[in-house]
Amino acid sequence: MTTNVERYQRIAPLYDFLDGPFERSRYRPLRPKLFDGLSGQLLDAGIGTGRNCEFYPPEAVVTGIDTSPAMLERARTRCPTLAAGGRLYEMDVTALSFPTASFDAAVSSFLFCVLPDNQQVPALRELGRVVRPGGLIRLLEYVRPSGQLRRAITYIWQPWVAWAYGASYDRHTEERVPEAGLEVVESRFVVDDILKMLTVRAPAHQVA
């Protein structure tokens, strides 16, 4: 079975090209909103080719992680500040090597829709562990729309996005948040009923 690391190693050279139309029309206006109200030490989990870098708050110190060396290589070029600061790591979001409470907040765009169902809770738990008590985690993710036409279109896209990106519209990340010991602070659709921005809070006191 193909792993996500293999998938992203394979698609990395084409990733920006294939995503280009969506990036320009849909994602670019949303990326700054990922960082609304966030500052200090931030983690960008599943940084990919570094599409969020342009929108990092100027005063924030951001660290990026990803499991694909080829995607990280592109992030290195697009995010020279992180690269020069040695803050790009090959690391799995379900097993972060950072100490507990290393970050003020974490963001992740289009990572949870590619994480298999059995990694959703471990990934949420890890993000909850590495942000400070009460820290925020902001996610931008695809979900299966309920509108008939859009829903039908996602079923047509499904085989491609699963093969190319390991992605699914049926991850139900929001529903898994309480199981990870975290709390949903805000959940809102930012594109029709297909793209959701979730803000999640780590517990005020870290569970040992």
Shortest Cβ 72–ligand SAM spacing (Å) = 8
Q: Can you tell me the distance from the alpha carbon of 29 to that of 182, in angstroms, rounded to the nearest whole number?
A: 28
Residue 46 interacting with ligand SAM (CB under 6 A): yes
What does the longest C-alpha to C-alpha distance in the chain come to? Answer: 47
Closest listed residue to residue 170, CA positions, set 149, 151, 147 = 151
Nearer to ligand SAM, 19 or 104 (CB): 19
Nearer to ligand SAM, 111 or 204 (CB): 111
Q: Counting every residue, how long is the chain? A: 208
Residue nearest to ligand SAM (CB): 48
Residue 158 interacting with ligand SAM (CB under 6 A): no
Residues contacting residue 139 through CB under 8 Å, at least 6 positions apart: 107, 108, 109, 111, 112, 173, 196, 197, 198, 200
At position 115, the amino acid (one-letter code) is L
Shortest Cβ 193–ligand SAM spacing (Å) = 20
Q: Can you tell me the distance from the alpha carbon of 176 to that of 131, in angstroms, rounded to the nearest whole number?
A: 18
Shortest Cβ 4–ligand SAM spacing (Å) = 4
Shortest Cβ 74–ligand SAM spacing (Å) = 9
Residue 198 interacting with ligand SAM (CB under 6 A): no
The site map against ligand SAM for 2-31 (x = CB under 6 A) is --x---x-----------------------
Using alpha carbons, list the distances in angstroms from residue 76 to 11, 16, 48, 96, 111.
17, 14, 10, 20, 18
Binding positions for ligand SAM, 53-82, rule CB under 6 A: 65-68, 71
Q: Can you tell me the distance from the alpha carbon of 180 to that of 177, in angstroms, rounded to the nearest whole number?
A: 5
Nearer to ligand SAM, 60 or 133 (CB): 60
Residues contacting residue 112 through CB under 8 Å, at least 6 positions apart: 120, 123, 139, 141, 171, 173
Shortest Cβ 17–ligand SAM spacing (Å) = 13
Binding positions for ligand SAM, 82-121, rule CB under 6 A: 92-94, 109-111, 114-115
The residues binding ligand SAM (CB under 6 A) are: 4, 8, 46-48, 51-52, 65-68, 71, 92-94, 109-111, 114-115, 165
